[in-house]
Structure 1
């Protein structure tokens, strides 16, 4: 079907459920009437599913109840029939062991909800870190027309006259408290101010990174990802998203028609220009596995080397998302890197990415930099390889102290996170600023769930000496709001016997970001001897979702998705309704 062609009411997916004159459809229609709807409300209209990740433990999504009603308003206005469907919320704050452990769970639920219900299109309501990639992964696999409604960042806030950045400043002030330079009373006062409204973190953390990527990939309305959660424009955007979903249904515009190789290259380019979260690498690799886009870690490094960082946003820069919105938002940034983007990539608005840039203008050139004055010329993220990470690992050079980007030091090894927490502040370890802190058993299977432990703590006695950054290496992730010379996603992880499991105290480790290497200075023979003596740990779970996760989760460089959910070229038949 061409872009301009429209389905007839009889060609809609929902017609199979609601249209025929038979017993089964009688049941479907009668149950809609049981809910208070008349035949005229739904007959011959696209049914639009509103997948809402709201719950009371995701404060980032506290406004989603209202936004769902505004989406419905837009659907009704455009002649569709809206149905709200709650799906699993992934609370970054409260889910344990980590929300990442359940990203694939939400992706599975999204896929099955879209496939089995009589939906002609869907609005995907996401914002908090893992919700956006999980919803997109499920939508890709189900391949039902879908559009993302980004949740938006929280309001700006300040404390003692200083503008705060959620997440980033938590880490910063925690270090000051550890150094003895912040009282308990001040810490408790900060707690009252750090998160001032609904919406996700107002830094360029994982949430803002992933919603911006969704926009850059053409899966949101133009400018949608930059809108603050409490801005009146966010409500208007929600209604417009509902109207757009109806048009997607009529034209049967599917995610696989939008999320091709060009979209993924655009996503990586925008990730680098934003100084975005390292977590985006894992999520994009998982999404690419669903789309068969052929994305590799080398693509991230190649694009990073050519792309300037133009968003002066914390944790890399100075400002927060409210400032970014006022400065012109994502379209203004994209306009600066036109030559690095595939502008002919399609979008949910039936045009191309170039259309998203119409009228784009920078209103504050300190917040969104022009090409001649970047925050960093290139190198937002770097992919490292070496005998310590044969399948790769990542670092965010722009958020680290430059003196550490080439470093050699002795390893201080912690076998797991409880070990780290128990011993890191022990002066008997005699750690210095030259040491390389190494954490094992923090990867996809070892933790499990590759939690955000990668910004390893600096010993309090070094904080008191003024040390604020050290080289730290793990198979964990790091919060997108974090910073420092943290080497992350070491693959293969230590739990499966990767080289990280073989590091011992005192081993010399060399980091060379410019050379893209991470080297354990131990001979191959010695590593082979250690590997022969290595004993794997028992699985964390023997049944249920935990066992499924353990048996099916890929390593970090492959996206930590379930193997059986990767696209394999086959087509899943639609479910029978009889």
Structure 2
């Protein structure tokens, strides 16, 4: 790209009053005047926040990116956007994913940027930043924050997925509160996001498999110096991408999205991957439907032996060779000629990969599990779909029929789940309503409901659980999620009653309520209309415009791209 064609030239290349204002106010920060003479302006979109612990090291990471940009002859400018901290935000960080994406989109479009580096780590920061950037479509590269070091407790490795087990043991009295304090002190030993193949790690793998990061980005621990090196090299590369005019739309093709789905199956990625990938596709304008997830990744086995589907951690995956090793093993499934952010194909990026530990990353011939990926279910209970992660489920429950034990909302669940009089046994199916996109609002990660204490005390470790909400990527169990249409807007899920028979058949991709169509219609006719809890502000906007889970739960009016052109120029 010629310097005169740089987008930033429309600001800094002007003469007269306008150019004076644009340049002078930037120069007050100590910027030399030669920085306005044709250097590509690179925005570093930073989600650093002390309220987002996973991203707490991003100030330092941003400096490494700046160093690379300066080395390559670019002009780095760091700017903040809304940061979504998964561990602290209420009612759920997912409520604000779309708001953060709007912040990113408008911040990029409104400013004199020629290219963008997205610094993201915690669960929602990755999809929100990529969604926003996709709607502007400038040259863009992603730098993930990296996973934290593996936790340790009494000589054993632990990660976030173990929290669910520890919690159940505490509820039955097998672990004391003092022991829980000791465990929490050993869980998070360094900077970085969750050490397991939870949503944050899944998102890091997603961006690498989509091709919008440098190879190796997904698995390098946050504490490893190689993470800073990758950030530096990403800074160098984004300047080159601007000169080549390599935009997001050149990388985020239909084939790239298929590669991401195939990769997610092989790594045992989070169910949240589905809802985020659909939203990103909607922003860049690539047709992608929920139903296609079954077909695209159907024959890909599970290769990565990480919690919650296995026993190792992201740090181990890095030492074993990282995601390029996975891509090399599944090369027969991939679109190998897809271009990536470094200008090379995905095949080029994995060609020299070598596996150093087949216990962590198995071969395609000897997989960890022949069953993998996310299965999309259909039936009268989820006309538009629901999802389940078979690799994290119990084999004996993948085909199961049982009586529904219904909780009308999350408060009802909390009030009754440990009631000794609750009519439930290990064959029952727990049903949680009103936790979908509109109903909660925000679709919280409560789908992997804790089991009734009286069943835990009998040694029951898993049950079929169904909700219109989500589940933490660190969670596990036979959990059906994202039921669509959700209960709040009158989907069939809303009319399930205690004692109704539900049939789950993962192998045949069926979720069915054993109630006649006539009875379903009668029950639906008695449902109250949906009423939003808010009539103002972002929550009101969200409830009135958010789409259903099978469409990505984006705000309907945000789909598609508005491009990089500023609509008005006030100067």
Determine whether 1:313 maps to 2:313: no
Match of 1:433 among 426, 429, 438: 426
2:115 — aligned with what? 121
In the TM superposition, 1:558-577 aligns within 5 A as: 558-567=551-560, 573-577=565-569
> What TM-score results when the alignment is normalised by the length of structure 1?
0.97
Q: Tell me, what secondary structure is at the counterpart of 2:249?
A: helix
Match of 1:494 among 487, 507, 511: 487
1:483 — aligned with what? 476
> What TM-score results when the alignment is normalised by the length of structure 2?
0.98
1:73 — aligned with what? 67
2:241 — aligned with what? 248
Match of 1:178 among 153, 171, 175: 171
1:282 — aligned with what? 275
Structural RMSD (CA): 1.1
2:193 — aligned with what? 200
Mapped partners of 1:139, 1:281: distance in 2:
19
Match of 1:552 among 541, 545, 555: 545
Instruction: List per-residue Cα deviations over 1:518-566 (Å, max 9, x = no partner).
Output: 1111111111110011113421111010111011100000000011111
1:106 — aligned with what? 100
Mapped partners of 2:322, 2:81: distance in 1:
29
Mapped partners of 2:484, 2:535: distance in 1:
24
Mapped partners of 1:361, 1:139: distance in 2:
33
In the TM superposition, 1:108-507 aligns within 5 A as: 108-166=102-160, 168-507=161-500
Q: Tell me, what secondary structure is at the counterpart of 1:427?
A: coil
Number of residue-to-residue matches in the alignment? 570
Q: Tell me, what secondary structure is at the counterpart of 1:235?
A: helix
Mapped partners of 2:420, 2:103: distance in 1:
48
- How much does 1:20 deviate? 2.0
- How much does 1:346 deviate? 1.1
- How much does 1:302 deviate? 1.0
Contact map agreement 1:115 1:575 (CA 8 A) in 2: no
- How much does 1:42 deviate? 3.4
Q: Tell me, what secondary structure is at the counterpart of 2:187?
A: coil
- How much does 1:305 deviate? 1.7
Structure 2 residues not aligned, in runs of 5+: none
Mapped partners of 2:482, 2:519: distance in 1:
24
Mapped partners of 1:93, 1:536: distance in 2:
33
Mapped partners of 1:44, 1:56: distance in 2:
36
Contact map agreement 1:304 1:382 (CA 8 A) in 2: no
Mapped partners of 2:359, 2:36: distance in 1:
50
Mapped partners of 1:111, 1:499: distance in 2:
36
Mapped partners of 1:572, 1:353: distance in 2:
27
2:48 — aligned with what? 54
Mapped partners of 2:85, 2:529: distance in 1:
31
Contact map agreement 1:179 1:464 (CA 8 A) in 2: yes
- How much does 1:36 deviate? 1.2
Instruction: List per-residue Cα deviations over 1:35-80 (Å, max 9, x = no partner).
Output: 1112023321000000000111111111101011111111111101
1:3 — aligned with what? none
Contact map agreement 1:304 1:378 (CA 8 A) in 2: no
Instruction: List per-residue Cα deviations over 1:318-352 (Å, max 9, x = no partner).
Output: 10000000000000110001110011111111121
Contact map agreement 2:138 2:564 (CA 8 A) in 1: no
Contact map agreement 1:46 1:81 (CA 8 A) in 2: yes
- How much does 1:427 deviate? 1.2
Determine whether 1:23 maps to 2:23: no
In the TM superposition, 1:509-520 aligns within 5 A as: 509-520=502-513
Determine whether 1:43 maps to 2:29: no
Determine whether 1:94 maps to 2:88: yes
Mapped partners of 2:285, 2:31: distance in 1:
41
